[in-house]
Amino acid sequence: MSTPHPLGIHSPDQSKLEGVDPRFLIRGLLHARDQTLKAFHEIRGILKEGMTEKEASKGAARVLLELGSKKQWHRTHIRFGTGTTLSFNEPTKSSPNLNLHDPVYFDLGPVWTDPETGVEYEGDYGDTFVMGENPEAQHCADSARLLFQKAKARHHAHPARGSELYGFLNEEARALGYILREDVSGHRIGDFPHHRFTKMNLSETSFIPSESLWVLEVQILDPRGRFGAFFEDIL
């Protein structure tokens, strides 16, 4: 007899793609999320005008280690200025300096260990903010968060497949005057490493995804290519 899925998932196909350690607990994943959010704010506090993205990433590594994350399931991505139009996978041609009034986004993927069970949980959180004053870039950052909340609320009210969620986001982004990056399309999360179960994107799911095991990513671009904004969190 197979071990019941900790989240009560009965579909064999879905259970395989949404597999977790038998000791997996939702509270462990949510604790990892809270720790990652705490790290986000502490890393934001070390940014200084003139520093490079590489310097910011090194500072982020120090903060994560100090908070107890000894490894990351994906490396930290930090973008400044026009670099916010790039996805986390795209290499930068240079390491720009942080200027006053620049938009900035972080994408953090630390691993946190539950001291009681030893289970390693993946954190994943990303957000965009502005250093100083830049109303247009700030509006873009606010819009990325708004789009996430709208998609999350829609999913909670009317659970939908991942492809339907991203179709919704595409329309909503266009209505706000932005371009949705369709290649930034969400992913699994869970105990480390979730890749042993699937590397599928959220937008590819042919079933209604479990809210606790998938990250919804939103990246939108200014139509003139001046800046972008990124936001991600557990669905």
pLDDT digit string, tens, across residues 73-89: 999 999 999 999 998 87
Q: Phi, psi at residue 141, to the nearest 5°?
A: -60, -45
Q: Token digits for 179?
A: 């371009």
The SS3 call for residue 225 is coil
Residue 4: pLDDT over 50: yes
Q: Tell me the CB-side half-sphere exposure of residue 119, using CA atoms within 13 A.
A: 20
Which is higher by pLDDT, 7 or 234?
Answer: 234
Q: What is the pLDDT of residue 91?
A: 76
How buried is 224 (Cβ within 10 angstroms: 0-12 exposed, 13-18 middle, 19+ buried)?
A: exposed
The amino acid at residue 3 is T
The SS3 call for residue 222 is coil
Q: Token digits for 38?
A: 């705490």
Q: What is the pLDDT of residue 203?
A: 94
**Separation CA 78–CA 82 (nearest Å):** 12
Residue 173: pLDDT over 90: yes
Q: What is the pLDDT of residue 16?
A: 81
- C-beta of residue 147 within 8 angstroms of C-beta of residue 186: no
For the residues 138-150, what does the mean pLDDT come to? Answer: 98
Alpha helices, DSSP H only, in 92-233? Answer: 135-157, 162-175
Measured in whole angstroms, how far is the alpha carbon of residue 221 from the centre of its chain? 17
Alpha helices, DSSP H only, in 18-134? Answer: 26-44, 53-67
For the residues 162-169, what does the mean pLDDT come to? Answer: 95
Strands 187-188 and 214-221: antiparallel
Least confident of 16-25, 132-141, 211-220: 16-25
Residue 11: pLDDT over 70: no
Instruction: Render pLDDT for 46-66 as a digit per residue (tens, 0 to 9).
Output: 999 999 999 999 999 999 999
Does residue 4 have a cis bond before it (omega within 30 degrees)?
A: no
What is the value of pTM for the model shown? 0.92
User: DSSP secondary-structure letter at 20?
Assistant: -
Residue 93: pLDDT over 90: no
Q: Token digits for 32?
A: 């990892």
Least confident of 17-31, 82-96, 191-205: 82-96
Q: What is the pLDDT of residue 1?
A: 35
Residue 10: pLDDT over 60: no
Q: What is the pLDDT of residue 7?
A: 67
The amino acid at residue 165 is L
The domains located in the chain, with CATH, are: 12-234 (3.90.230.10)
- C-beta of residue 218 within 8 angstroms of C-beta of residue 147: yes
